Amino acid sequence: MSDKIRLRFAPSPTGFLHIGSLRTVLYNYLIAKSLGGILFLRIEDTDSKREVEGAVEKLIEILDWVGIKFDEGPGSIRGTTNAAHPNENKDVGDYGPYIQSRRLDIYKKYTQELLAKGEAYPCFCTEERLIKMRADAEAMKKPPRYDRACRDLSKEEVAKRIAAGEKYVIRHKLPVAGEITVHDELRGDIKFNLVDLDDYVLIKSNGIPVYQFAVVVDDHLMETSHVVRADEWISSLPKNILLYKSFGWEAPKFIHLPLVLDKNGGKLSKRNNDVAVEDFRAKGYLPEALLNYNALLGWHPAGEKEIFSMDEAIAEFKYQDIGTSPAVFSAEKLDYLNGIYIRKKELPELIALCKPYLEENLKLTSNEHKKSDQFVGKVIALERERLKKLSEIGEHTKFFFVDNLSYDKAMLVWKKSTPESARASLEDLLKILEAIVDADWETEKIEEIVVKYIKDNNKGVGDYLWPMRVALTGEKASPSPFEMADVLGKSETIDKIKKAIAKL
């Protein structure tokens, strides 16, 4: 094998990107870059049962959004299109095609090679026979295995049956006894009993290879140095290694990433959890937060630090620091990190990110100013401290946009106070606020003036601030009434206080 460092992300297009696959692609990226190597994208679409219309495009689109840059891959992936490859559909890199369904001729050639070496054989067993064999094994409580009936057919018989048009698959001829030791970079050596392995199918009767075959041929031809994949593939490792041996190829290094479980210890499944990265995007998670969070699912950096930019993570990442015990997916932790990344955004970018979530709110007002970036920006600047995901901005900020708030007038009355006293407070407030000059209309100044009045006149803070808050928001919980007044502006504030007085 060459000393190049080449890693691949090899998803099957199932219609969405599973959050676990996001961790896989990220770890591939981190390992590739921390070792000074490259990452390529290979689409594993030979299993047509799982194929979903438009799935490859969707996959590439979401990977683009996530922002992981591939050095090679199908031409439409971001980071791989460049001046040298103006044609978007042209592969970028010298190891293509990077989509398995475009590599069928290559697989054919290597199938022939394997047959010629006597490392594989055609199997003519019918579906009915195989089903019966499985049922019999089950009845005898034995593991379902192929009985190798076609393993030793003569060349002549094989040729005759093929010529007669019989359907056949190609099976890998495995050693029938003994042990195989395979190596995982994180777990060390793992022993498997060869009797537990089957002469499994490499090529289906339609000539299409299964994953186990295509993955080995491609990883060899594409000079993959490290296969980094989910834990669930570890049971494939002996088959993979035996196939490398059958071809006489040196195998890459293997790193199987620990499982990711939900908080109840179950698999992260669609039924109980959001698992599609697309769902996380729709809820307003930022790619930076998803990547940072996923980086910590299995990787244990040396210090306490947990906020990592991609460059920082690459600088600190050592694949030897990946654990082997399952990681637990915590939505709370992800929310926390997302909040941090939201607050790191410059306001103009945050406005653009929040806008899709504010569309409904903008319909609540007929005041054009409230639809401007200036107003929306003030609202967002105030709310971003509390925001955990962008989608919350709509619900959190409705009251900024409603021209005519509807609330029960009883809400204006503070604790044991009375409607009369609430009204008197609001009338006082109206006078105070009307007297504030435009230049002083900002949170601190308004607060200073109102609080001074309350103190100088020995009034209760709640008696003033409570009805003011409700008058401006129609809510019991909101930003402070001074912040509200600042964002709404003087004339709307006054208007809302007048409307509250009219209610009482």
Residues whose CB falls within 8 Å of the CB of residue 61, separated by 6 or more in sequence, listed in order: none
The answer to whether the beta carbons of residues 120 and 246 sit under 8 Å apart is: yes
- Shortest distance, CB of residue 322 to ligand GLU, whole angstroms? 16
CA distance 26 to 228: 10
Residue (44 or 119) nearer to ligand GLU, CB: 44
Taking CB under 6 A as the criterion, which residues in 188-217 touch ligand GLU?
215
- CA angle in degrees (0–180, nearest 5) for 176-180-181: 175
Inter-CA distances, 355 with 237, 368, 386, 468, 486, Å: 48, 15, 17, 28, 21
Phi, psi of 123 (to 5 degrees): -125, 125
What's at 344, amino acid-wise? K
Residue (97 or 301) nearer to ligand GLU, CB: 97
Among 12, 246, 294, 397, binds ligand GLU (CB under 6 A): 12
Please compute, for residue 412, the number of CA atoms within 13 A of its CA located in the half-sphere on the CB side. 27
Active site residue 239: no
Residue (17 or 150) nearer to ligand GLU, CB: 17
The stretch near ligand GLU (CB under 6 A) out of 90-98, 113-121, 225-233, 451-459 is 225-233
Residues in contact with ligand GLU, total (CB under 6 A)? 8
Among 5, 6, 11, 472, binds ligand GLU (CB under 6 A): 11
Residue 81: strand, helix, or coil: coil
CA distance 208 to 107: 8
The stretch near ligand GLU (CB under 6 A) out of 4-12, 77-85, 165-173, 339-347 is 4-12
Catalytic residue among 109, 160, 270, 476: 270
Q: What count of other Cβ atoms lies within 10 Å of the Cβ of residue 239?
A: 22
CA distance 86 to 70: 17
- Shortest distance, CB of residue 319 to ligand GLU, whole angstroms? 15
Among 220, 229, 239, 370, binds ligand GLU (CB under 6 A): 229
233 binds ligand GLU (CB under 6 A): yes
- Shortest distance, CB of residue 36 to ligand GLU, whole angstroms? 21
Residue (102 or 355) nearer to ligand GLU, CB: 102
65 binds ligand GLU (CB under 6 A): no
- Shortest distance, CB of residue 236 to ligand GLU, whole angstroms? 8
- Shortest distance, CB of residue 43 to ligand GLU, whole angstroms? 9
What's at 118, amino acid-wise? G
CA distance 59 to 97: 17
- Shortest distance, CB of residue 313 to ligand GLU, whole angstroms? 21
The set of long-range contacts for 285-289, using a CB threshold of 8 Å and a minimum separation of 24, is: 285/334, 285/338, 285/389, 285/390, 286/338, 286/341, 286/342, 286/345, 286/353, 286/390, 287/65, 287/66, 287/67, 288/341, 288/344, 289/334, 289/337, 289/338, 289/340, 289/341, 289/342
CA distance 238 to 192: 7
Residue (294 or 478) nearer to ligand GLU, CB: 294
44 binds ligand GLU (CB under 6 A): yes
Residue (229 or 389) nearer to ligand GLU, CB: 229
Among 5, 7, 10, 275, binds ligand GLU (CB under 6 A): 10
Residue (230 or 362) nearer to ligand GLU, CB: 230
Residue (263 or 270) nearer to ligand GLU, CB: 270
Residue (46 or 292) nearer to ligand GLU, CB: 46
- Shortest distance, CB of residue 97 to ligand GLU, whole angstroms? 16
CA distance 243 to 219: 12
In the structure encoding, which two tokens stand for residue 364, read together? 């609540």
The answer to whether the beta carbons of residues 389 and 284 sit under 8 Å apart is: yes
- Shortest distance, CB of residue 42 to ligand GLU, whole angstroms? 8
- Count of residues for the chain? 504
Taking CB under 6 A as the criterion, which residues in 99-158 touch ligand GLU?
none
The stretch near ligand GLU (CB under 6 A) out of 5-13, 51-59, 143-151, 390-398 is 5-13
CA distance 328 to 267: 10
The stretch near ligand GLU (CB under 6 A) out of 10-18, 182-190, 249-257, 422-430 is 10-18
The stretch near ligand GLU (CB under 6 A) out of 6-14, 53-61, 124-132, 372-380 is 6-14
The answer to whether the beta carbons of residues 456 and 448 sit under 8 Å apart is: no
- Shortest distance, CB of residue 73 to ligand GLU, whole angstroms? 14
Q: Site residues (CB under 6 A) for ligand GLU?
A: 10-12, 44, 215, 227, 229, 233
* Residues annotated as part of the active site: 270
